[in-house]
Structures are given as structure tokens and as C-alpha cells.
């Protein structure tokens, strides 16, 4: 006998707040598994703000039912940042009992009863574009308004496999290993710089002078040394065809907590690297990696590159200083 109260497949709520809808549109480009397989075989997408057929009270009733009758049985995915100004009235999910149900209220209520909470895209994970200065709606990250763990899957937009892989891991194996920013290490465990196909050009000081040239993009603003994501090896467009550097334009660091305020100007290179007792200009990094022994700082620099500390060193000198390592409204390493 089938118990109709127990769903046959894991339930997913995909909620949109202040968003351009780019993350859901990106997910539709997933290939293996694809979106069709996700909703037909893997999980039940019970609510989708963008693709759902219901509207008005019918749609709100779906969310009410999930919150009341399926506690700890659904995964809440939130796309977009959360506006907090005017009690959240800058983003309204719908009307409930004749009153506006704000995104701020919805994510708190639905998030409290979810099995897992996932932030889809940089806006939900870290504030992103909508939280950029002057931030008139006082947008914040999802984590900033929830007193529970949020799994962050940043990107502007997300790579479809980052989200598809995270959802499948949660369903099949539970929570994946996360870094200090609550990102799955499976996808965000290494810098773009260390995975880049053009790393040899960097090591040999062969730099592009303008976008469009086939060399290392470091001197024209590439944020690969401080951005953790596997874009160079995973690539995009469903068929794994390309990514920004392969298309001859610098990485702008869209998966980083600082994006976008801490990554602008996009086409200016990272600031100087400061090492104990010596200041190394960014223009000389590539050269130094080739003559490290002669300069007497090679062991430290190469060790920093190999362990990832170089990315942290560079971040300290981003515009605004170390405070931009993470937005004040985000709770780093929230457990």
C-alpha cells in the first residue's frame, strides 16, 4: 500500500527572491543528468518560481503545505539576495491571508523547516550584484538572515553542474565537504589560477596586453589567482565547450564572496603582493616564479602558490582591504 503522505522522491522548493533568473536558466543547460531527468527520476520539483504553472493563492498554498506537512523532508533552494529594507517589502513572494509575504519572511519560515538550505548563485550566497554599493534595498545573503547552515553554490550564474552535483550529492549521500565559505569543495576546492590552461604562460611571463589575445590574462585583470572554482576544467555551455579565459577575456571572480564590489575594476590587475621583508609587484609575479631561487623568496612564494595561501595574500590587498574578504553581513563559517 502506498502512503500518499510520504512523497516518492525528495522534494525541492526553488524560490526566487531578488534575482535575474540566470541561475535557473543556467540549470536548464545541465546535460548529465539533465533538468528533465532531475524532475522525472531524481527529485520532485514541487515549487519553481520561474517554471511553475500555478500562480496566486494556488502557488502559495503549495508552499504552505510543504512547510506544514513535509517538515525536514524538502530541500529549499533560494536564488537571489534578500532585501531587508522596509521589512523586506522590496521583494514579495505573493500574498498570504491578504498580506504581502516578503522574501525575507518566506526564506525564514521555509528555511526553518527544510532538511537542507542551498543558496543558488552569488547573490544568494554572498549578496552579489543586488548588494553592491549603494545597495538601496539593503540586500544581504541568505545566510545573513537564517540561523542555520546554508550550503553556498556561488557563480554569476552558477555552472549547471555545480548545482546539479550539489543537489544529487545531498539526495544520494548527504551534505558534501564544505570550505570556510560553506561551498562544496568538490567544485570550489582549487583556484582558477592553478587549474587554468594558460598557467604555463603565467609561469613564463607571457601576458596578454588586451582582451582577445591568447596569453595569460593576469595583467589585464584576471581574478583567477583569488577565485576558487573549477571553471577551467569543467567549462560551460552544457557540452563543456568554453569558459571566459578560453574565450579570451579575464576571469572577473564572480564566484567569490567579494564580487562585484571587491573585484572592480574588472580589467585592472590584482594589487602588489606583500611578503615579509619585501614587496613584490604584481607585474613581476610571473617572472619571479621562474627565478625564485635567485631572488631568495622563491620557497615562500612557491609554497604559497602550492598551498593556496597566495590567494589569501592577494585578497588582503584587494580594494577596500581585508574587510572585503567577506561582507560584514555574512557569517563566515556558519555552522
Query: What does the pLDDT profile of the chain (335 residues) look like in tens digits?
Result: 445 556 789 999 999 999 999 999 999 999 989 999 999 999 999 999 999 988 899 999 999 999 999 999 999 999 999 999 999 999 999 999 899 999 999 999 999 999 999 999 999 999 999 999 999 999 999 999 999 999 999 999 999 999 999 999 999 999 999 999 999 999 999 999 999 999 999 999 999 999 999 999 999 999 999 999 999 999 987 788 899 999 999 999 999 999 999 998 999 887 755 444 444 554 555 445 444 433 333 333 444 444 445 555 555 444 443 333 333 333 433 33
Question: Which of 166, 164, 160, 190 lies closest to 308, judged by CA?
Answer: 190
Cell 596578454 belongs to 208
Cβ contact 75:32 at 8 Å: no
Distance between CA 164 and CA 158 in Å, rounded?
10
Distance between CA 230 and CA 216 in Å, rounded?
17
pLDDT over 70, % of the chain: 79
The torsion angle over the Cα atoms of residues 180, 184, 186 and 188, rounded to 10 degrees, is: -60
pTM (two decimals): 0.83
Distance between CA 297 and CA 300 in Å, rounded?
6
Cβ contact 88:82 at 8 Å: yes
Classify the C-alpha dihedral 307-157-142-66 as positive or negative.
Answer: negative
Which pairing describes strands 116-120 and 74-79: parallel, antiparallel, or unpaired? parallel
C-alpha of 174 from chain center: 20
How confident is the model over 72-86, as pLDDT tens digits?
999 999 999 999 999
Cβ contact 21:80 at 8 Å: no
Three-state SS annotation for 52-112: CCCCHHHHHHHHHHHHHHCCCCEEEEEECEEECHHHHCCCEEEEECCEEEEHHHHHHHHHH
Grid coordinates given for 287: 617572472
The pLDDT of residue 268 is: 86
Grid coordinates given for 81: 539576495
Longest distance between any two alpha carbons in the chain, whole Å: 76
Distance between CA 238 and CA 248 in Å, rounded?
19
- 255 contacts: CB under 8 Å, gap ≥ 6: 122, 154, 155, 156, 188, 227, 228, 229
HSE, side-chain direction, 13 A CA sphere, residue 236:
15
Grid coordinates given for 212: 582577445
Amino acid at each position: 500500500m502506498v502512503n500518499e503522505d510520504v512523497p516518492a522522491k525528495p522534494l525541492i522548493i526553488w524560490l526566487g527572491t531578488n534575482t535575474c533568473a540566470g541561475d535557473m536558466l543556467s540549470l536548464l543547460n545541465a546535460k548529465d543528468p539533465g533538468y528533465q531527468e532531475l524532475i522525472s527520476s531524481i527529485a520532485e520539483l514541487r515549487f519553481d518560481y520561474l517554471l511553475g504553472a500555478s500562480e496566486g493563492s494556488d502557488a502559495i498554498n503549495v508552499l504552505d503545505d510543504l512547510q506544514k506537512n513535509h517538515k525536514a523532508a524538502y530541500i529549499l533552494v533560494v536564488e537571489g539576495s534578500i532585501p531587508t529594507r522596509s521589512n523586506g517589502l522590496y521583494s514579495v513572494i505573493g500574498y498570504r491571508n491578504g498580506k504581502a509575504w516578503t522574501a525575507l519572511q518566506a526564506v525564514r519560515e521555509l528555511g526553518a523547516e527544510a532538511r537542507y538550505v542551498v543558496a543558488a548563485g552569488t547573490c544568494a550566497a554572498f549578496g552579489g550584484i543586488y548588494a553592491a554599493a549603494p545597495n538601496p534595498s539593503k540586500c544581504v545573503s541568505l545566510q545573513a538572515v537564517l540561523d542555520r547552515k546554508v550550503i553556498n553554490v556561488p557563480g554569476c550564474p552558477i555552472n549547471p553542474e555545480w548545482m546539479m552535483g550539489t543537489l544529487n550529492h545531498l539526495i544520494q549521500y548527504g551534505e558534501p565537504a564544505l570550505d570556510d565559505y560553506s561551498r562544496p569543495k568538490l567544485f570550489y576546492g582549487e583556484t582558477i589560477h592553478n587549474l587554468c590552461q594558460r598557467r604555463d604562460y603565467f609561469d613564463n611571463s607571457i601576458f596578454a596586453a588586451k582582451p582577445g589575445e591568447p596569453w595569460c590574462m593576469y595583467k589585464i585583470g584576471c581574478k583567477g589567482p583569488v577565485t576558487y572554482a573549477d571553471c577551467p576544467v569543467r567549462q560551460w555551455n552544457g557540452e563543456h565547450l568554453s569558459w571566459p579565459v578560453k574565450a579570451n577575456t579575464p576571469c572577473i571572480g564572480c564566484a567569490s564572496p567579494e564580487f562585484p564590489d571587491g573585484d572592480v575594476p574588472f580589467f585592472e590587475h590584482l594589487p602588489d603582493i606583500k611578503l615579509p621583508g619585501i614587496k613584490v609587484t604584481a607585474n613581476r609575479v610571473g617572472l619571479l616564479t621562474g627565478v625564485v631561487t635567485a631572488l631568495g623568496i622563491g620557497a615562500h612564494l612557491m609554497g604559497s602558490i602550492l598551498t593556496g595561501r597566495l590567494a589569501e595574500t592577494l585578497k588582503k590587498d584587494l580594494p577596500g582591504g581585508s574587510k572585503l574578504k567577506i561582507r560584514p553581513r555574512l557569517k563566515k563559517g556558519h555552522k
